[in-house]
Amino acid sequence: MADPVQVQTGPTGAVVEHAETVQTALVEQDTDGHHTAAVTWLGFDSAGWVAVAMLILIGIMIWKKVPQAIGRALDGYTAKVKAELDEASRLRAEAEALLASYQAEANEAAEDSKKIVAHARAEAERLVAEAKIQAEEAIARRTRLAEEKISAAERAATDGLRARAADMAVEAARSTIASQTDASVQKKLTDQAIGELDRRLH
């Protein structure tokens, strides 16, 4: 005698069906070697009752809208996965945009550094050129001042020598005339000599 068959609806825990006692066929062998099969209850053997139980289970699942619940669960899971994928895509896009921004800033900083170095080099060259020009101008100015001082000293020395020579010449002429002529002639000759010297000096 087989045990009663019970089918449950899985998560709900409801009993699907309690089959009546299934009478299995007892195979008996007669003395002549022939086998006879006992007839099961209501014309169903054990396999038939299993099929009936499965049909009843499927019917109850449909009645309880289990497929719809499973579909909703799958839809919810699919939506959750899609949302996670969308979020991952959004985060990836943000990361790529941030990376591109950092790269752009790095490139801009590199360009700024190059510009700063080029500007500093140009400024240094300009300052060196200006310093060279200023040094050349200072040297030329000092040279000119030195030459002017030398020229002034030379002129002063020449003028001094000329004045000294004129004085000596006048004195010599005066002495010579004094020894040879009278006072009026001496004065006249002295004045002429002085005038001649002044004319030659100037």
Entry pTM: 0.34
Separation CA 197–CA 27 (nearest Å) = 179
Which residues on neighbouring strands pair with residue 129, listed in sequence order?
Answer: none
Question: Quick one: pLDDT at residue 3?
Answer: 42
Over range 180-202, report the average pLDDT.
65
- Name the least confident of 114-118, 134-138, 162-166, 196-200: 196-200
Res 199 pLDDT > 70:
no
Question: Quick one: pLDDT at residue 53?
Answer: 80
Chain centroid to CA 32: how far?
102
Q: Residues of the chain with pLDDT > 70: what percent? A: 61
For residue range 9-20, what is the model confidence (pLDDT) as tens digits? 443 333 333 333
For residue range 77-118, what is the model confidence (pLDDT) as tens digits? 888 899 999 999 999 999 999 999 999 999 999 999 999 999
Helix (H, G, I), strand (E, B) or coil at 40: coil
Residue keyed to tokens 């007892």: 26
